[in-house]
Structure 1
Amino acid sequence: MPKLNRRSAAPVDDDALLKRRRTIETAALVARSFGMVSTALAAAGTHMASAAVVTGDVRAACWAGVAAMAVTNTLSYLGRRRPASAWYPRLSAMQSVLDTATIVGIVVLVSRQSDMATWPLLAPAIAVAATRHQLRGALLVFAATTLGFALLVPGSPELFFLAVVGFMIAVITGTQASALNRHLTALNETRRELQHQATHDPLTGLPNRGRLAAYADERAGRPLAVLLLDLNGFKQINDTYGHAAGDLLLHEVGTRLTAALGPGGMAGRLGGDEFLVLLPEADPAVVARALVRIRESVRQPIAIGDGRTATVGVSAGVALRPSGGDATLDALCAEADAAMYRDKRGRAVAA
């Protein structure tokens, strides 16, 4: 029996998305840290922007902004550490809200008490929202910043420029971020499809040799039962009714094997009418029950097209590896292969 091919592609995941999330959080940490330092220096009167800090209220607001940015940086740190967490979207949304509230608060207070033009500071909040939540997020933050500025700094001559520039930034960054997100989604879907094609049999949809080998390698040194199955009567059906009928039969057998095993093992197709079943942590009793279910399921009539049905049997060979055993999957398959042919010859003699 040919050796199993152990080459298999890396597990599919959203690596591109996770890397993008980490990049976003890293950039947020750096930019926000710079903002914290700048705001703290301004509030302390040791920074060129300290001229805008003309009252105690503005100074207190700046220190409150520093504290808010510190809290938001904590969320960024958590998001960077766990970009695959189910909580990541919520952490990201919380950061957008806190960033927007912090920047709007500082800009409004400074604008109300000085002549310094601080409204351009609202632009980063829109751009960051775009990277996190695409066009919808950018437009929401644009609306929040513009409305907040309009309500809290009524009659400001800067409102028109703030609205125009903010809208342009929201549209440009939002559409670009949305396009990138669609590209990443399509890329991940393509990778999943390619991964599935590389690790599964195209006819039955069952795991192929490479996937079976990887599954067994993951359980090295642990108990493993290997069942090698061969269909009795398949050749006659294939020769009599054609390959299309044979393909229908093989596909249905694959479906029945998966249903008979449930979540406790893996069934795969080696080629032709040979199937391989791997049962981890299985003892002889478990294997015997699994074989009964498999034989009972497979021998039921199978539709092969044009209203015809066919019936096949199963010859099976079993090999067991105990806990701590060092037998490889190839060695176990060779042992099961020999046992399967003994079973097949015995059935032929009985017939």
Structure 2
Amino acid sequence: MLMADVFDAPSHGVPASLTTVCLGMIAAMIAAETLGAINFWRPANRHYGWFSAAQVIADTVVMCALVAGLHNYVETTTWTGLIIPIVAGSLRFKLPGALLAWAATSAFLPLVLSRGERPPAPGDLVFAVIIHLMVAFISGTQSGAFGRRVAELDQAKDALKHQASHDPLTGLPNRNRLAEFADSKIGHQLTCLLLDLNGFKQINDSLGHAAGDEVLRQTAYRIRACIGAEDLAGRLGGDEFQVLLPHATPGGADDLICRLREEINSPIRVGDNFVTVGVAIGSAYRPSGDEASLDALTYIADQAMYQEKRRSRKSAQGQPSPYDGERTISTEIGFPHEAA
């Protein structure tokens, strides 16, 4: 508007220096809005903070140039326009951003008001600086409170999302999360392992449910320690667990099954006692290009798991075995620490 001579310009017309300043202001505004659009559409951008800082700097430069232009060429004092970069700084960087913008505009304001044919009235500069400082504190503190509120809401949302997709006892993903993971791998190879603990009921009956809960937590920890970063282990309920392996071949799954048996069969400390549980594991493999659902894989793995249980019962011939179902699983109470 200054460049277009909308205001009451001096009689000699708009000087070339003012036109140059106005073109620079327009360029800074375009750059600031471009960065703002990038931040709006890509809030997770790693340059978000730098782009925001560039916006605040551009806002400060433009408004300072506007105040200077109006004061020097139109003899109009518009120091209230410097509130805009202060508020912009508070929105992007809370109280520190507001105070930095206030410091920059307060250092600039005396240089502008001291020039021109009409010097400011006594106290105008002090009044402007104090008003700007009040705006900085009010907008900065409110922006900080709003930011904390948003952060609390985000934390609550994340907590609710975690509760909806994870088992509260073991912290492992639940059925819903396992199903989501499997759906994202449709058409790709996937190995499904189904694990069922043997002897868990005896621990609950003899030591109580608190001991059983500790066994489940320790088992979940051991399963999680055996699998890779791209695999997913979850608890289906009770003493039944599921492991999804998106990159494992049948041979690789067999190696993992051996490690799982070794880890789960190791004694678990529950208070002053040591207990052991066995585990039956069934597996199902889906090759690439196959679109078998997780339910179908789980059914196949479940059949394989119970076949293993039946084979274990027949081969044990009445002797205790860590793979032999509920009636023969070893549950050791008060196992000596030295022996462990």
TM-score by length of 1: 0.83
Contact 1:72 1:98 in 2 (8 A): yes
Q: Mapping of 1:276-287 within 5 angstroms? A: 276-287=242-253
Q: Mapping of 1:44-55 within 5 angstroms? A: 44-45=4-5, 47-48=6-7, 50=9, 55=15
Letter in 1 for 2:71: S
How far 1:199 sits from its partner (Å)?
A: 0.4
| Pairing 1:226–2:186 present | no
**1:137-186 deviation digits (Å, cap 9, x = unpaired):** 11211111011212454474331232122122212222221111111100
**1:30-58 deviation digits (Å, cap 9, x = unpaired):** xxxxxxxxxxx32131x236569864433
Structure 2 match to 1:79: 39
Structure 1 match to 2:320: none
Structure 2 match to 1:333: 298
The structure number with the bigger radius of gyration is 2
Rate the CA distance shift 1:336–1:111 in 2: closer, same or farther, 3 A.
same
**1:61-109 deviation digits (Å, cap 9, x = unpaired):** 2222122222222222222232211111110011101211222133234
Q: Mapping of 1:63-102 within 5 angstroms? A: 63-102=23-62
Letter in 2 for 1:116: T
Rate the CA distance shift 1:228–1:49 in 2: closer, same or farther, 3 A.
farther
CA distance in 1, matches of 2:174, 2:245: 16
CA distance in 1, matches of 2:18, 2:132: 24
2:222 to 242, 252, 256: 256
In structure 1, runs of 5+ residues without a counterpart are: 1-40
SS in 2 for 1:42: coil
CA distance in 1, matches of 2:293, 2:21: 67
Q: Mapping of 1:176-215 within 5 angstroms? A: 176-215=142-181
Letter in 2 for 1:323: S
Question: Which structure carries more relative contact order (alpha carbon 8 Å, separation 6+)?
Answer: 1
CA distance in 1, matches of 2:252, 2:312: 23
1:267 to 218, 229, 233: 233
Runs of 4+ aligned structure 1 residues displaced above 6 Å come to: none
CA distance in 2, matches of 1:240, 1:345: 25
How far 1:189 sits from its partner (Å)?
A: 0.2
Structure 1 match to 2:2: 42
Letter in 2 for 1:318: S
Structure 1 match to 2:322: none
Rate the CA distance shift 1:220–1:335 in 2: closer, same or farther, 3 A.
same
Structure 2 match to 1:15: none
CA distance in 2, matches of 1:73, 1:228: 54
Contact 2:71 2:112 in 1 (8 A): no
1:317 to 282, 288, 302: 282
1:131 to 54, 67, 91: 91
Corresponding pairs, count? 309
Contact 1:301 1:310 in 2 (8 A): yes
1:144 to 98, 104, 124: 104
CA distance in 2, matches of 1:308, 1:51: 95
**Bigger shift: 250-259 or 81-90?**
81-90
CA distance in 2, matches of 1:169, 1:226: 61
Contact 1:232 1:313 in 2 (8 A): yes
**1:216-270 deviation digits (Å, cap 9, x = unpaired):** 0111121111110011121111211111111111001101101100213111001
Contact 1:228 1:276 in 2 (8 A): yes
Root-mean-square deviation over aligned CA pairs: 1.9
Rate the CA distance shift 1:50–1:241 in 2: closer, same or farther, 3 A.
farther
Structure 2 match to 1:169: 135
CA distance in 2, matches of 1:270, 1:151: 71
Contact 1:298 1:313 in 2 (8 A): yes
How far 1:122 sits from its partner (Å)?
A: 0.7
Contact 1:44 1:50 in 2 (8 A): no
SS in 2 for 1:161: helix
Contact 2:7 2:74 in 1 (8 A): no
Bigger proportion of residues as helix: 1
Contact 1:267 1:278 in 2 (8 A): yes
SS in 2 for 1:138: helix
SS in 2 for 1:270: strand
